[in-house]
Amino acid sequence: MIRKTALIAFLALVVVVGGYAAFREYGFRALSRVFDERLEAGDYLAAIAAAGKLKEDGVVSPELDDKVSSAARMLLSDEAFKKARKAADEKRWNDAGAILRTSDALSDPAFKYYEEAKKLYDKAEALAAGAAHKTAVTINSLENQAAAEKTKRAVAEKQTQKLEGSLKEREATLSETTKKLEVSKQETEAKQSALVAEQNRAKALLEQIEKEVKQKFFTELKTYRDLAQKGKEQIDNALAEINAKRDVTALVYLSQGKILFEEAKNKTMDLRNNRTIEIYRVAVDDLVNALSQLFEASKQLRNAVVYIEEQGGSEYINSANKGKAALSNGASSLKAVSDVISANP
């Protein structure tokens, strides 16, 4: 009798465990299907959220990591395309081209606005190149005019010296000659004034070119600052979820923030090493530091989630305090970057 009862209990346990495994497998497949559908539909942020949930449920594979990285790049490309389109609407063609050129919007055919981004980039580059060519032609023309005017002045001076040398021999025509010289002098002065005005205009054009280079730099800096800011908002959300003891949603927010920080850091380091204007290097360094601090905040808060049910324990308090301190430091550095951007509209 005892053996029969034990056998029945064992069989019931097998059924329960098997049912749970089947239910768990069904949940994985459902989340994977949601991820693929969101990615294909172009809802990249939702796709990243679904991927984060899969990872938290234990799904780990190179294919999933590749898809998550692709979704993150698509999200960045989506943001870049919107900003480039806004710059184009405002006829800031150089900015539009620079934004698209520093994103994957032009290189990944899977991006939902890939064709529109290519057309917009071609248009922006054509118009920007036309403006640059016009500036170069204008400067070259001014230089040629300056050389011609210098030659004319030299000829006029020689003519004046020759007339003065034969003045005594031409006393009868002195009055007429004097009038001609005066007219010639006035014409020369007028041309000289025109030349000075053209040179000033050339200087203004060169200053405009420097301004455009600065605008391109700040366009990139602001783009990566915005990514860091979005990632910080995910960390803020995660902290609120941790305080409420909601570990799953907290980990999803932390995963989303980490993905955004990784993309922003790679782009920021490329900007720092290749296109940073020297007087604004401190601002770029502040952004790099902000991302490092936010990475640390994400790491420490992820540790705190492990002890979320023991919020009075030393492990939780230590990790939570370190995470909050890193988050505060990151926010401070991020504010310094924003202050520089605000001071250079």
Select the more confidently predicted residue: 327 or 203.
327
Q: 216-345: what fold?
A: Four Helix Bundle (Hemerythrin (Met), subunit A) (1.20.120)
The three-point CA angle 341-342-345 to 5° equals 85
**Domain ranges, ordered by start, for the chain:** 1-127, 216-345
Q: What does pTM read for this prediction? A: 0.44
Enter the DSSP assignment of 92: -
Asked whether 304 and 320 are in contact (CB, 8 A), the reply is yes
d(CA 318, CA 321): 5
Please report the pLDDT score of residue 206 as a whole number. 72
Each residue's pLDDT tens digit, 95-127: 999 999 988 888 888 888 899 999 999 999 999
CA dihedral 129, 266, 282, 321 (to 10 degrees): 150
Please report the pLDDT score of residue 44 as a whole number. 83
Asked whether 308 and 316 are in contact (CB, 8 A), the reply is yes
pLDDT category at 181 given cuts 50, 70, 90 is: very low
Give whichever of 32-36, 63-67, 74-78, 139-143 has the largest mean pLDDT: 74-78
CA dihedral 172, 175, 180, 181 (to 10 degrees): 100
What does the radius of gyration of the chain's CA atoms come to, in whole angstroms? Answer: 34
The whole-chain average pLDDT of the chain stands at 82
pLDDT higher than 90, residue 214:
yes
Stretch (H or E) spanning 52: helix 44-56
Each residue's pLDDT tens digit, 132-148: 777 677 657 757 775 77
